[in-house]
Amino acid sequence: MHKELLLDSHRRILPHIHRTPIFSSRLINKIVNADIVFKCENFQRGGSFKARGATNAILSLTEEQKSQGVVTHSSGNFAQALSLAAGRIGVKAYIVMPSTAPLVKKDAVLEYGGEIIECKPTLSARENEAHRIVEEKGATFIHPSNDMDVIIGQGTACLELLEEEPGLDYVVAPVGGGGLIGGTSLAAYYFGNGCKVVGGEPMEVDDAYRSLQSGYIESNETTDTIADGLKTQLGDKNFPIIQKYVERIVLVTEPQIIEAMHLVWERMKIVVEPSSAVALAAVLKDKPRFEKQKVGVVLSGGNVDFKAVGRFQ
Amino acid sequence: MHKELLLDSHRRILPHIHRTPIFSSRLINKIVNADIVFKCENFQRGGSFKARGATNAILSLTEEQKSQGVVTHSSGNFAQALSLAAGRIGVKAYIVMPSTAPLVKKDAVLEYGGEIIECKPTLSARENEAHRIVEEKGATFIHPSNDMDVIIGQGTACLELLEEEPGLDYVVAPVGGGGLIGGTSLAAYYFGNGCKVVGGEPMEVDDAYRSLQSGYIESNETTDTIADGLKTQLGDKNFPIIQKYVERIVLVTEPQIIEAMHLVWERMKIVVEPSSAVALAAVLKDKPRFEKQKVGVVLSGGNVDFKAVGRFQ
């Protein structure tokens, strides 16, 4: 069922998203002694893979649902992605954002035509505000990562990667809320020829790593990471998929994330955000595992605020 | 004659260089109200267009000359480019670098197989040292910008651009030592259909702008620019070409360069160095001229040391 869903969803979202290019770097291949290809979702519409899941979720609504709009709470890439997707499809998007969200993120949401509802910077305030909009406007709530249509949509990046590179031994993706790694692992299971999936996760937000060990969805005890897209925790929809299809999660430190990010910026000449670099950091850390293998790395996004980049050094 | 030289040189260097991609950005088109295509020489081998001229210059040597090696003095991209090109072709490269050159530049030269000769950080020390190597080793001196084979080689980037985008009204390139803008203007003259060439130059190193006004090769009075690739002055080989074929030079301020660079980094998700951003800065400054036109912008290189990026903010 997931196999057909992936193919159908991909066909459905293709007019609204970019089929992103695949890059490689001789130097990085030399460092790892492997054949690595990078799926460049930093070039995706809205600057991250999240346009895929958001578009797929909106396209799966009924016409009546579409007419009443969609709502989510996010201070990051999903806010932009849902505004963008909704705008393209002609659906109203309500985005609940904490008052502390960076101006650059708010501007991007507005630019794509989303309506921002500000709230206090706590999870409960965000949830309450989103709930109020569902009640008042009849809008459909779309979760950034714990929603099957979103998970399937995110998986289409790996589907495209495997169409072009069918011989991959591994696909490595960052682990945040579980949408990308969940969808990636489904795509690799159904369309990879024995392709294994490894997740990269910052040590500072190691909820997924611990969840796989304990068998329960664990919460983060710290969230002090530069990879701001990965601070969220897994959900009941994506956790069982991750348990079943992800081989392992590799934890990486903050200096390892920054080193990997600089390597991509300086050697590949492309801009990726810290969360993206976590997957390459995992490959660099676990080098012996990937030696002489054909490895796909999902570069999940490229939304960097360079005016604030001093903290990345 | 230049027409055939461009075509022959392009054919000759193609096995050794990348045919770089052409990117565009809807947002930047919207800002300028123009149709802009970017020739991405930041993805060129060695991280800048300079691999083209260096390769062409080496390939034009006799076998005897090749056997005795090549020498240049540079603390920037040409040092890397000549090492890279020489290494590929199997020729020894001696690179005279000031002792103050950044470690990252020296490492790149060594990585490509060049031999570094350190000297004091003055122009006369660099020239003397290069002269000594010509005398002692019989190596051929290759100037980074004031050499016809180098100029023609640099022009092949614009040649490729016009092959893919024959309808350009303008091509805009940064102006440093005059090699890129000289070659670009030749290619536009012979292969563009009335395509005009505009140079972008930092106000802090406005030697080319003043040279076009006075009719003589002027020196820089200040060199306090972030665009470190553009501090050199024109030479007797490229100046007459620039006088004849470049429509005008647009001067830009340091904040304009930084703004253009951030625009490319944040919106196009690619890394370009400050010197590259000068061409886009010129387009942004002179917007009315480019409105509703089809404009090619040469993104000349992407060698940024992100550990030192604080000064770009």
Give the contacts of A56 (CB within 8 A, at least 6 positions apart): A9, A12, A13, A149, A150, A152, A153, A156
| Nearest of B179, B156, B181 to residue B237 by alpha carbon | B179
Give the contacts of B145 (CB within 8 A, at least 6 positions apart): B53, B78, B151, B176, B177, B178, B179, B180, B182, B232, B235, B238
Q: Are A197 and A171 in contact (CB under 8 A)?
A: yes
We find that the CATH architecture of domain B2-48+147-312 is 3-Layer(aba) Sandwich (3.40)
* Closest Cα in chain B, distance from residue A276 (Å): 13
Residue range B5-10: mean pLDDT, rounded: 98
Please, which residues bridge with residue A36 across strands?
A295
Q: Hey, are the CB atoms on A269 and B306 less than 8 Å from each other?
A: no
Contacts A–B by Cβ distance under 8 A: 50
pLDDT for res B123: 82
Chain A positions in Cβ-Cβ contact with residue B26 (cut-off 8 Å):
none
**Which residue is listed with tokens 């490729």?**
B160
Q: Could you check whether B2-48+147-312 and B51-141 share the same CATH topology?
A: yes
Q: Hey, are the CB atoms on A305 and B271 less than 8 Å from each other?
A: no
Name the H helices within B21-102.
26-32, 50-59, 63-68, 77-89
Q: Hey, are the CB atoms on A43 and B265 less than 8 Å from each other?
A: no
Q: Hey, are the CB atoms on A269 and B266 less than 8 Å from each other?
A: no
Find, in chain B, the residue whose alpha carbon is nearest to that of A261.
Answer: B306
B43-102: per-residue pLDDT in tens?
999 999 999 999 999 999 999 999 999 999 987 899 999 999 999 999 999 999 988 888
Give the contacts of A123 (CB within 8 A, at least 6 positions apart): none
* Closest Cα in chain A, distance from residue B311 (Å): 9
Q: Is position A50 annotated as part of the catalytic site?
A: yes
pLDDT for res A310: 55
Burial A142-157 (b: 16+ CB within 10 A, else e): bbbbbbbbbbbbbbbb
> Between residues A99 and B189, which one has the greater pLDDT?
B189
Q: Is the model's pLDDT at B312 over the cut of 80?
A: no
Q: Is the model's pLDDT at B313 over the cut of 80?
A: no
**3-state SS, residue A252:** strand
Given pLDDT bands bounded at 50, 70 and 90, which one contains residue B309? low
Q: Hey, are the CB atoms on A269 and B271 less than 8 Å from each other?
A: yes
Interface of A with B in 44-103 (CB under 8 A): 47
Q: Are B20 and B276 in contact (CB under 8 A)?
A: no
Q: Are A231 and A220 in contact (CB under 8 A)?
A: yes
Q: Are A23 and A283 in contact (CB under 8 A)?
A: no
Q: Hey, are the CB atoms on A270 and B266 less than 8 Å from each other?
A: no
Q: Are A295 and A36 in contact (CB under 8 A)?
A: yes
Give the contacts of B63 (CB within 8 A, at least 6 positions apart): none
Find, in chain B, the residue whose alpha carbon is nearest to that of A42.
Answer: B269
* Closest Cα in chain B, distance from residue A268 (Å): 8
pLDDT for res A234: 96
User: Using CA atoms, how far apart are residues A35 and A25, in angstroms rounded to an integer?
Assistant: 9
* Closest Cα in chain A, distance from residue B101 (Å): 18
Q: Are B266 and B26 in contact (CB under 8 A)?
A: no
A271 touches chain B (CB under 8 A): yes
Q: Name which of B270, B305, B313 is nearest A269 (Cβ-Cβ).
A: B270
Computed over every residue of chain B, the mean pLDDT equals: 94
User: Using CA atoms, how far apart are residues B181 and B233, in angstroms rounded to an integer?
Assistant: 12
**Which residue is listed with tokens 């991250």?**
A48
Find, in chain A, the residue whose alpha carbon is nearest to that of B268.
Answer: A43
A302 touches chain B (CB under 8 A): yes
Chain A positions in Cβ-Cβ contact with residue B49 (cut-off 8 Å):
none
CB atoms within 10 A of CB B220: 18
Give the contacts of A184 (CB within 8 A, at least 6 positions apart): A154, A155, A157, A158, A171, A173, A197, A298
**Predicted confidence pLDDT, tens digits, chain A (313 residues):** 899 999 999 999 999 999 999 999 999 999 999 999 999 999 999 999 999 999 999 999 999 999 999 999 987 889 999 999 999 999 999 999 988 888 878 888 999 999 999 999 888 899 999 999 999 999 999 999 999 999 999 999 999 999 999 999 999 999 999 999 999 999 999 999 999 999 999 999 999 999 999 999 999 888 889 998 898 899 999 999 999 999 999 999 999 999 999 999 999 999 999 999 999 999 999 999 999 999 999 999 999 888 765 545 4
Q: Hey, are the CB atoms on B307 and A262 less than 8 Å from each other?
A: yes
| Nearest of B94, B247, B230 to residue B175 by alpha carbon | B230
Residue B175: half-sphere exposure toward Cβ, Cα within 13 Å: 37
Please, which residues bridge with residue A129 across strands?
none
Chain B positions in Cβ-Cβ contact with residue A312 (cut-off 8 Å):
306
A262 touches chain B (CB under 8 A): yes
Q: Hey, are the CB atoms on A266 and B271 less than 8 Å from each other?
A: yes
User: Using CA atoms, how far apart are residues A286 and A295, in angstroms rounded to an integer?
Assistant: 12
Q: Are B85 and B237 in contact (CB under 8 A)?
A: no
A265 touches chain B (CB under 8 A): yes
Q: Taking the mean position of all CA atoms in its chain, how far away is CA A134?
A: 25
**3-state SS, residue A201:** strand
Q: Are A306 and B262 in contact (CB under 8 A)?
A: yes
pLDDT for res A105: 83
Q: Catalytic residue, from B75, B83, B211, B275: name it.
A: B75
User: Using CA atoms, how far apart are residues B296 and B36, in angstroms rounded to an integer?
Assistant: 6
Q: Catalytic residue, from A9, A48, A50, A300: name it.
A: A50
Burial A47-62 (b: 16+ CB within 10 A, else e): bbbbbbbbbbbbbbbe
Mutate to test the interface with B, among A306, A312, A313 (most CBs of B within 10 A): A306
Q: Hey, are the CB atoms on A313 and B302 less than 8 Å from each other?
A: no
Find, in chain B, the residue whose alpha carbon is nearest to that of A40.
Answer: B269
| Nearest of B252, B273, B301 to residue B41 by alpha carbon | B301
Find, in chain A, the residue whose alpha carbon is nearest to that of B305.
Answer: A266
Q: Are B173 and B184 in contact (CB under 8 A)?
A: yes
Chain A positions in Cβ-Cβ contact with residue B51 (cut-off 8 Å):
none
Q: Is position A75 annotated as part of the catalytic site?
A: yes
Q: Are A293 and A247 in contact (CB under 8 A)?
A: no
For domain B51-141, give its CATH number from 1.10.10.10, 3.40.50.300, 3.40.50.1100, 3.40.50.10860: 3.40.50.1100
Q: To the nearest whole percent, how much of chain B has pLDDT over 70?
A: 98
User: Using CA atoms, how far apart are residues B300 and B297, in angstroms rounded to an integer?
Assistant: 9
User: Using CA atoms, how far apart are residues A44 and B311, in angstroms rounded to an integer?
Assistant: 29
Q: Where are the domains of chain A?
A: 2-48+147-312, 51-141
B238-289: per-residue pLDDT in tens?
999 999 999 999 999 999 999 999 999 999 999 999 999 999 999 999 999 9
Rounded alpha-carbon distances, angstroms, from residue B150 to B90, B247, B285: 19, 22, 30
